[in-house]
Structure 1
């Protein structure tokens, strides 16, 4: 915490005025340079050094007003560039530090709006995963129901832009949160249908390999030997295609195939 003893001639209200001026200054700088770490870092420093006031009413008023303004500022920055990960990181900092932050369901709705306006927004998907974990842990949201709803959301995104990496990363995260056999089988079927429409989709093929291998390694006893053989053959066929369409990662696909063959 900043103390006025460093500046003995400055009252708490004057220090607060200095910090407010710096927040205004850096906001103008961020509009020109929205991805400069040190501008964002200086705003954090300002917030962390709001001085103690002569009364609780003063300090609470200064802090509450400043934090609310910061949330407004970062929303303006994300309106200008919804994928600015500096702004998203700062938003997480603000929400985690505010004494009276908006409810998590409000933040979940915010990520929905950002994602629906542009599926290719990795930071929004990432923020959504953080908020969902919070809501599940608190019991404010039914885990199974919300996972099902998010599979529908991400599936729409996959069909809209099957080449967008952020969508597939979030899909893999959802799979990790509920990778039972029926879910894996359903998602494999759905992705295969998309691959039939987009036969050169690298992300479709990579995801199919990942999820088929999950069935083989985690659920072999449930799916049975015949299904395991079919899944393994399918993985090897897909890896061969990936070698052809993605030469820079050719050796990676070969190593995965070698691992599958050696575990037969």
Structure 2
């Protein structure tokens, strides 16, 4: 790093460092061999649970050890009281929290956390309270994780899981507001845009929303995504959401309006590959509209072909793909 003076190790110090690292490797391999041996022998005791903790501390991506840990717990649970089971699960939730702070995108840690929540004892009285407290804590945790990295798709996926599992369901409108806040703080948040599509579809399905109401809702979404496209036309996230809003069979006036808007952006950003790509795709879509006459279809296809040829120049790494797309326009 700049500004930091490098120090050269003496031969003796270099050798000492090498031996220390070699010692760590040997200790890790010995621990791994010990734990895997116990796994093969199906030794499911509290002592061996501690051994899995030591190994996971060193390598939390070792999914085989997570499986072994769950088998140990499942072997212990039948002889434990509900309170003791909850105590073990709480310990593992704390353990995974500490790992996620350092490794927020390791699937196996999130997966073990789900297992813990789904293993909370069922029944009346105190267990109901336990479940409610666990799920409330999960929502707070995942929101902190997304505050730290709003584009962590593992956290977004886990958030959807938590919301679907809450004992008392939150209004879908709250989730819509949440995704908007994340999008407005960073338009390049693909996961937030994706979550927004899922939330809107869920709202429309739940409320039995009619086509006209959906169209009005989409018009508002077009306004939101247009801000993103003009802010950073070279980011893919907004363009993918825009294409989702357009769909495969959009109303003619909507398609024409959006093509006009993108043409305005293209004039301002003539080298934006995503802008050109969208314009070519929507122009072809317009040529296939049932109300388009034969002469206009030919003109629109030729226009789309020219746009794909332009993409060959702008995005040379994918020119063969664009050449193929241009040929399909004929």
TM-score of the pair, normalised by structure 1: 0.92
Assess, with a 3 A threshold, how the Cα gap between structure 1 residues 47 and 237 changes in structure 2: closer, same or farther. same
Show the 5 A alignment for 1:173-188: 173-176=244-247, 179-188=250-259
**Aligned residue for 2:315?**
246
Structure 1 range deviating more: 169-178 or 62-71: 169-178
Deviation >6 Å, runs of 4+: 2-5
Q: Deviations over 1:152-178 (max 9, x none)?
A: 000010000000101100000000176
Q: Deviations over 1:172-195 (max 9, x none)?
A: 000017611111111111000000
Q: How many residues align?
A: 257
**Aligned residue for 1:38?**
108
Show the 5 A alignment for 1:152-171: 152-171=223-242
Show the 5 A alignment for 1:88-237: 88-139=156-207, 142-176=213-247, 179-217=250-288, 219=289, 221-237=290-306
Assess, with a 3 A threshold, how the Cα gap between structure 1 residues 178 and 63 changes in structure 2: closer, same or farther. farther
SS for the counterpart of 1:222 is coil
SS for the counterpart of 2:150 is coil
Unaligned runs of 5+ in 2: 1-70
In the alignment, which of 89, 95, 99 is matched to residue 29 of structure 1?
99
Assess, with a 3 A threshold, how the Cα gap between structure 1 residues 178 and 172 changes in structure 2: closer, same or farther. same
Contact 1:188 1:208 in 2 (8 A): yes
The whole-number CA distance in structure 2 between the counterparts of 1:33 and 1:6 is: 28
**Aligned residue for 1:65?**
133
The whole-number CA distance in structure 2 between the counterparts of 1:108 and 1:80 is: 20
Unaligned runs of 5+ in 1: none
**Aligned residue for 1:10?**
80
Task: Please state how far the C-alpha of 1:103 moved relative to its aligned partner.
Answer: 0.9
Q: RCO higher in 1 or 2 (8 Å CA, sep ≥ 6)?
A: 1
Contact 2:311 2:319 in 1 (8 A): yes
Q: Deviations over 1:192-248 (max 9, x none)?
A: 00000001010111001111111112x1x4132332232112111111111111111
TM-score of the pair, normalised by structure 2: 0.74
Structure 1 range deviating more: 249-258 or 74-83: 249-258
Q: Which has the larger radius of gyration?
A: 2
Task: Please state how far the C-alpha of 1:7 moved relative to its aligned partner.
Answer: 3.2
Q: Does 1:47 align with 2:138?
A: no
Contact 2:142 2:155 in 1 (8 A): yes
Q: Deviations over 1:84-113 (max 9, x none)?
A: 000001001111122212110000000000
